[in-house]
Structure 1
Amino acid sequence: PCPLLPHFWGSPCPSPPFLSPSPCPSPPHSISPPARVPGLRPAEPGEFSLRAFRRGKLDLPAAEGLRDLIGAETAAQRRQALRELRGELGQLYRGWSHALTQVGL
């Protein structure tokens, strides 16, 4: 795995770490173009987020926050998206769910 960042999608970084969304250090000469690596394909948009969600590394509000962060155009949008990504909305939703469960709804 890449020594710099844990991969939130829950799978190991390719070795050498080419085409990784994290800033893994790799000398340019060790990067193989995708056309030369059998079975390698570009990731689909959202593919790593889906993997993270399926492995329990990312909840739905955080995945939405990541999507919002990628599409943010203003500082206010980025701040809100980061709140979602950090799990602040997920905590709020879990609190609501717990409260509703306690009253029998």
Structure 2
Amino acid sequence: MPEELTETEILADAMGLLPCPMCGSEAKVSTPYGVQCVICKGCHLTISDHDGRGAIRKWNTRLPIAGAHGWKLVPVVPTSAMRLAGKRCDKTELRIYQAMVNAAP
């Protein structure tokens, strides 16, 4: 006999679950101890709420990558300009890092 779906599982099917924001793995819904949760199947990141709709909404909410204040997207591999900026600045780790980030495209 197939297992009955919980209300939160039905909501997750209807609303859809985005991949994990940390590792990109698939997520699942769970109700441990009566708490509605969305849990990553990979890294086990967990978001909970008093109801299933709230947990799913929280899970699916993402900050815009380029719009997060104080953050800047930089290449995974430093560019020539970034390496040169790091070499030219004072030799403290923070200043090298700041110079390289500022030189990023």
TM-score (norm 2): 0.25
Please state which structure has a larger fraction of its residues in strand: 2
Higher RCO, 1 or 2 (CA under 8 Å, sep at least 6)? Answer: 1
Relative to the length of structure 1, the TM-score reads 0.25
Q: Which has the larger radius of gyration?
A: 2
